[in-house]
Amino acid sequence: MNIQAVISQLKTYAPIFGNRVAGAAEFAQSVEKQVFLTLPAAYVMPRDEDAERNNEGTNCLFQRVWERITVVVELDNSTNRQGTVAITSVETVKYVVFAALLNWRIDPNNCPRGLEYAGGRLGNVDRGRLFYEFDYQLEVIITDDDGFQVTPDVLNTIETDIQITDTNAVPLVTPDIIINTVTNFQD
């Protein structure tokens, strides 16, 4: 899934974050160095993928793949150290993220439907921050067109030899008739 496209979508359609939306690398760095974005903020991270086996009934590639991402929202927990205010605001933020992502078809050519909500869970909580994770999945269809494309050899000429033999003739009395044809094709 195109993580940068999801980040852009949230920046555009989830104004609650005020453009404070980043990716997995920024999240890892902020956790490691304890330098976070201004709150509230969101981080988009790739997750796992699952794929069905290729459709056995066809002579071509037709496979369903489920690509998943997690949107980690980071909320201010400093005003109420028990976390009750921040956890209450999770519901509001969830619907803002829903409005930005649900049913959005990142790639209309390969996605029969848009992003689906796949669940959520409480992440890390401390006295200053509360992290909540929202999972989304996207069904993607891959076909022959998405795979390696063999460039076919161009057929320019067909040359044929046709041998006509009279099977009732006495050997060596009637010679075989050989016809040679050449057909040229133009672009």
What are the residues whose beta carbons fall under 8 Å from the beta carbon of 145, sequence distance 6 or more? Answer: none
Q: What are the pLDDT digits (tens) for 72-129?
A: 999 988 887 666 677 788 999 999 999 999 999 998 888 889 999 999 999 988 888 8
Instruction: Determine the pLDDT at residue 79.
Output: 82
**Which H or E run includes 48?**
strand 41-51
What are the residues whose beta carbons fall under 8 Å from the beta carbon of 17, sequence distance 6 or more? Answer: 10, 11, 40, 41, 42
Burial class (CB in 10 A: 0-12, 13-18, 19+), 15: exposed
Instruction: Determine the pLDDT at residue 163.
Output: 72
Q: What are the pLDDT digits (tens) for 5-42?
A: 999 999 999 999 999 999 998 888 777 666 678 889 99
The confidence band for 174, taking pLDDT boundaries of 50, 70 and 90, is low
Q: Going from the N-terminus, what domains does the chain have, and what CATH number goes with each? A: 3-146 (3.30.2000.10)
